[in-house]
Every structure is written in structure tokens, then in C-alpha cells.
Structure 1
Amino acid sequence: MGAINGALDRLTEAYQAEQRFVADAAHELRTPLAVLSLHLQRAKLGGTLDWGTIDHDVEQLNKLVGQLLDLARKEHARQTKVASARPVINLSRLAREAAAAVFPLADQAGRSLDVDLPDNLAVRGSSEDLYDMIRNLLDNALIHGRGEIRLVAGVEIGVGNERLAYISVSDEGAGVPEALGDTVFDRFRKGSPDSIGHGLGLAIVREIARGHDGNVAFESGKPCQIRVVLPMANEAIQA
């Protein structure tokens, strides 16, 4: 009976989450669609198209839809997959690959990116999702932070002597207002209304961390630092 109740609770949670997701997505899509429609109407009345503006509108819509689909896939994966059944991978390797992809962007922005990673950091999970998680953390620091960006990883001991892997990304920006707390990880939540983006990057980070039996949080104080903690694997790295 307990197993049946648990299954029903999970089904109810999944259904409610899907309803919230659809409602949130519809709300967020309304504004960029309205802006694109307005620009097209002006072009129709004026007889000329501002292709630069139209291209920008379409690019923003594509980015928003892509992030929404990505988040939906990750939420579904968390509800249906068992983390312990995933392969053992090297989190350090994924972090180095994510940093390598961001280096040119940081250099272009006149920002430095410092990396301090162990050779091996074994965790169970999806290579694609964990790479996305680290890349989103770095992108968040690059877009919303300032000054030097630092990517650090290592091992710590948790409750019950559990070995945990952590990934930390920090920059010299002001960080997230304390009043926001964990709500900054909610879908479409921004640290500032004027921030660029759609407020989905950190929601994706949290979804991936939770899907790997981990957690993510901003550290209090300065510098601005966000930290993900994941359980380590006891087996050797497979990929």
C-alpha cells in the first residue's frame, strides 16, 4: 500500500509540475511574441523591414524555446531515471571542457577565467547534463558577474562521512540579493528585472543537480559564489 501511495504522490507531483511549466512557458512566450508581432506590423505599415531587429527577435525566441525544451527534458529525466543506474564519469574532465568553451568569450569580454581542478572526480550521471550544468554556471558568471571568474572543484566529507564532489564558480560581482534566497533558482526568476536572458539558466542548473542527488546554492557574502555538491561514486571512472 505504501508503494502505491508513493507512486500516486509522484504522479500527482509530476502532473502539477507539468501544469506549472506550461503556464509559466505560455506567460514568458507572450512578451517576445508580442514584440515580434509589433515589429512586423510596423514594417507592414512602413513598407520596409528592419531585418536586424527581426533577426534579434527571432534569435531571442529560439533561445527561449530551446531553454524551455531543455529544462522540460531535464525535469522529465529527474522524475523517471535512477541516478545510481547511470555510468561513472569524470566531473573534472567535463569542467575542463566547459571552461575551454568559455575561455574565448571571457577573453573577448576582457575577463579572466582561472581554473583549479583535480585530475579525477568520479560521479555517477549524465555527461551531457553535467556539462550543461557547469557551462550554465560559467555563462551566468560571465553574463551577470564581473571581474575574474574562478572555477574550482574538489572533494569534501558530508554527513555520515559521505564523500562529496563540489563544483564552485565565483566572480567579483555583487551576487544575488539575500532576500531572493533559493527563489533565484526558480524558472524565469532574475536577480534584477533589467538582467538580460530569460531566467532559465539557474533553473536548469538546479534541475540537473537534483537529478544527480545533489544540491546547488549561492554562498553568502562576497565574492559572488555558487556551489554545486554531488555524491561521489565509489567505482572507477568509466567515461
Structure 2
Amino acid sequence: MKILLWGALCLLLTGPLYAQDTTRVVSPTAADSLLTELFDSSSTVQPLLPERMVFTQRAFWGEKGLLRLTGLAPLTTESRQRELKVRRTMLVSHQVLGFVTLAGFIAQGILGANLYHAEGARYTRLRNAHEAVGTAVNISYATTALLSLTAPPPILGKRQRGLNSIKLHKYLAIVHLTGMIATNILAKQIQHNYELKPYHRAAAYTTFGAFAAAMIVIKF
């Protein structure tokens, strides 16, 4: 009986020592690499939505956006993958319509330049054409802008510091959007005050220049 008790006591005392010795088989390097892998895998988990979004994107695609609340686009990893494909399609369409709008601006510039010196029936004909093209340009411009403003937000990534083509494109967008609004307002006021023609033309040229520059920087 005493032999059994002594044997059990020795087993209890030496058991932890054996367990501690077995850990020496795993090298510190292997343990460190395992911990590193665990930390790396956890750091790759990112939120599904960026913190900063355009207000129109947040209204549709935010956590409490319209498409989330209606269940049309649940905030899941699979849904976000589909949204990125939708985003690409919308941005490609944004670029294509941008060139269409740019062509409309050029046509408006030609018609507007001839309209300034036209008289009689020619003036009426050019003015009607100028107004028709202006309506088409406004529609294409608004559609182009909405495709960008309502596209699903991008995935999270490292923010580029300094000035780059994307930021420059956005800054120029503010310029040509302001010019577009001013051009349309002045176009309506010219009918009552012909002295506003130079300002209307200046706003139109500024809008065209900023829009063309925005298309160039994002394309090249």
C-alpha cells in the first residue's frame, strides 16, 4: 500500500516536470511565428464600409442606408463583393457618359459662339439648337454625376497622401459643378439682361475647361 502511495506521489511530482520538458521540443522560433500568424490574420479583418463616404453614398449604401434598411443590399461580405462589381460598372459608365457630355460641351461652345453674332432667322435657328443641345448636356451631365455620387463605396485601403489624380478629379468636379450651375442661371437671366452675356460665356468656358481637365487627369 505504501509503495502505491509513494508511486502516485512521485507521479504527481514528476508529471509537471515531464510536461514542462515536452514544451522544449517546440522551438521559440516556431512559437513566435505562430503568434505572428495569428496577429496577422486578425489584422486583415477590416470593416465592410469605409468611415468616410459621400453623403449620397451614405444615404444609399451606409449601415442605415436605404438599400440596407429595405434588405435589397444587406451588409455582408458576399453583398459587398457584388457591390464592388456594380461600382466598377457604374464608374465605367460614368467615364463613357463623361466623354459624351464633353462632346456636348464642344457643340454648345460652337453654337454659342455663332449665336453671339447671328441675326434674324439664323439667330432663331441657332438659339433653338443651342437650347436643345443645352438640355441634352444638362441631362447627360446630371446622369454622369449621379453615377459617381451614388456608386457603392470602395473597399478600405491605404489613403494616398498628397495630390493625386483622384483628388484632382474631385477638386475639378467642384469647379465645373459650380460653373454648370452658374451657366444655367445666367442663361435664363440673359433674356432680361443682355449685358450678362460675357459672364455667361466666361462661366461656360470655365465649366468646359474644368470638365475637360477632370476627364484628362482621371483617364491618363
TMscore range, shorter length: under 0.3
Whichever of the two has the greater Rg, that structure is 2
Structure ranking higher in helix proportion? 2
Instruction: Name the TM-score, length of structure 2 as normaliser.
Output: 0.26
Name the structure where strand makes up a greater proportion of residues: 1
